[in-house]
Amino acid sequence: MKEHYHHELPQATWTHWIPVALIVLVSLLYLYLYFRCLRKGGRSTFLQVGSFLMGTLLLTIALWPSVMNWGHSDLRGHTVQHLLIAMYAPIFLVMGSPVTVVLKAAPPAWSRKFLQLMKSPFFKFLGHPFTAFILNIGGMFVLYLTPLYVRSLEDPVIHYLIHVHFLLAGYLFTWSLIGPDPGPKRPGFYTRLLVIFLSIATHGFLSKLIYAHEYPRNSPHPVSQIQQAAKMMYYWGDLSEIILLIILFTYWYFNKGRPQQNLSIIRKKTNYTK
Amino acid sequence: MDIKIEPSAKKSMWAAALIGIGVMAAVDEIIFHQILAWHHFYDRSTTDIALMTDGFLHAAELIAIISGFFILLDLQRKQTLVKDKAWAAFFIGLGGFQLFDGIVDHKVLRLHQVRYVDNLLPYDIGWNLAGLILLGTGLILLRRAKRRKTNGPSA
C-alpha cells in the first residue's frame, strides 16, 4: 500500500491547471460584475475589490500545481494549503462581499428571490455560526483522526472533494462570523464571540492531538514532519482566528459608538451642556 | 436628560486587568515555550484532557487581550477612561496571573513545572517573586491613584 508514495508524481498536465483556471475565471467575473455595479451607480470601494483579489491570489498559490504536489507528498505542504484555503483566503474573499456584487449586478427579481430564499429555515440553520463551526472543525477531526486522510492520498476525487470542503466550510464559517454580505439572519456579537472561542480552543486541541499521537495514522509522513505540520497548524491557525476576532471587535466598536458619537457631535455643535 | 460624563473606573480596571492577564499568559507562551523552550509545546506526560484545557485557556487568553483592548478604546472614545487606575489594574492582572500560574498550576495542580531540572526551588522562587513584584507594583499604583483622587483633581 505504501509503494504508491515512492513513485514519481506525474508531470503537471493541463488538468492540473483546472483549479487555477477556475479561480482566475471567478476573479475576472467578479471584476466584470463590480464594474457593472459601478456604472449602475454603486459606491466604489477599492478596499473591497482588493480584498477579494487578495483572497483569490491566496487560493491560486494554494492550488498551484507545484504546491499541490508538495501538499500531496509532505504534510507541511498540506498544512500550508489547508491554512490558505480554509482560513486565510476566506477572510479576504468574505470581506470582498461577492454576494453583494452579484446581487447588485443581477436583475432585481433575482435579488429579491435570493433574499427570500435566505429566509428559509434551512439557510438559517446552515448560516448559524455554530453549524458552520461544526462543519469546519468537525471535517478536520474526521479527516485527520480517521483513515480518510490516507484514502485521500490515493484517490484524487476524494483529494479534490476535501479541498472543496475546506474552502466552502471555511467561507461559511468566516461569513457567519464577520461577513458583510446579506444572507440568513445570524445571531449577535456574544454568540459569535463564543463560537470563535470554541474554534480557537478546538483548533489548538486538534493541532496538539496530531502532534502528540502522530495523526494521521498510517500516513507515509515521518514523525518530525507531522510535528512540524502540527505546530504550523497551531500558530498560523491562531493568527487567522486573531484576525477574525479583531474584525468582529471592530464591528462591535463601531456599532456601539454610533449613537454615542452622534450624541457628542450634537452636543458640540449646539453647545448643549445640561 | 443628563449626559454628564462619568468616569468609569471599574470598567477601566476590568478591561486593563484582562489585558494584563492575557499578556502574561502570552509572555509565558512566547518566552518560556518558544524562546527558552523550558516548558514544551507538549510532553509525554500530558494527557489529552490537559491538551484540551490548554486549548480553552489559550483561547480565553487571546480573547482577553483583544476584548480588553477594544473596551479601553471604547472608554477612551467616551472620555470615561480612568488611566491611572487602568495601569494599576494592568499590573495587578500581570502579577495575579503569574502568581496563580506559579502556585495553583505548578504546585497545587502540578500541570507543568517552570523548568525540568533537579533543583526546581530557585526557579519557583524566581517565578513567584516576579509575580509578587508585579502585583505589588499594581497595588501601589492603585493606592496612588486613589489618593490622587481624594486629594486633588483626577488625572
**What single letter denotes the amino acid at residue B139?**
L
What the block records as the C-alpha cell of A82 is 489547508
**Hey, are the CB atoms on B66 and A253 less than 8 Å from each other?**
no
Backbone φ and ψ of A100, nearest 5°: -60, -45
Closest CA to A203 of A62, A82, A94: A82
Q: How many domains does chain A have?
A: 1
Q: How many domains does chain B have?
A: 1
ipTM score over 0.90, yes or no: no
Residue B85 maps to a domain = yes
**Cα dist from A178 to A86, A119, A188, B118, whole Å:** 15, 19, 11, 50
Min distance A21 CA to chain B CA atoms (Å): 38
Average pLDDT across chain A, whole number: 88
The mean-pLDDT minimum among A52-61, A163-172, A260-269, B103-112 falls in: A260-269
Percentage helix, strand, coil for chain A under 3-state DSSP, each rounded to 5: 80, 0, 20
- Report how far Cα B25 is from the mean position of its chain's Cα atoms: 7
**Residue pointed to by grid coordinates 463590480:** A34
Side-chain-side CA neighbours of B147 within 13 Å: the count stands at 6
Q: Which is more confident, B104 or A177? A: A177
Question: Chain A 188-207, CB below 8 Å of chain B: which residues?
Answer: 193, 196-205
Which residues of chain B approach chain A closer than 8 Å at the C-beta? 1-3, 41-42, 46, 48, 51-52, 54-56, 58-60, 62-63, 66-67, 70, 73-74, 77-78
> Quick one: pLDDT at residue A3?
44
Residue B134: domain span: 9-150
Residue A212 maps to a domain = yes
> Quick one: pLDDT at residue A60?
96
Residue A2 maps to a domain = no
Residue A158 maps to a domain = yes
Residues sharing a CB contact under 8 Å with residue A35, sequence separation 6 or more, in sequence order? none
Question: Chain A 127-186, CB below 8 Å of chain B: which residues?
Answer: none
Residue A6 maps to a domain = no
Residue A4 maps to a domain = no
- pLDDT of A184-225, one tens digit each? 999 999 999 999 999 999 999 999 899 888 889 888 899 999
- pLDDT of A226-257, one tens digit each? 999 999 999 999 999 999 999 999 999 998 87
Alpha-carbon span A136 to A165, nearest angstrom: 8
Residue A79: domain span: 11-270
Global confidence as pTM: 0.86
Residue B135 maps to a domain = yes
A20 C-beta neighbours (distance < 10 Å), count:
17
Residues sharing a CB contact under 8 Å with residue B8, sequence separation 6 or more, in sequence order? B75, B80, B81, B82
Side-chain-side CA neighbours of B82 within 13 Å: the count stands at 23
Assign 3-class secondary structure to A78-140: HHHHHHHHHHHHHHHHHHCCHHHHHHHHCCHHHHHHHHHHCCCHHHHHHCCHHHHHHHHHHHH
Closest CA to A245 of B95, B60, B17: B60
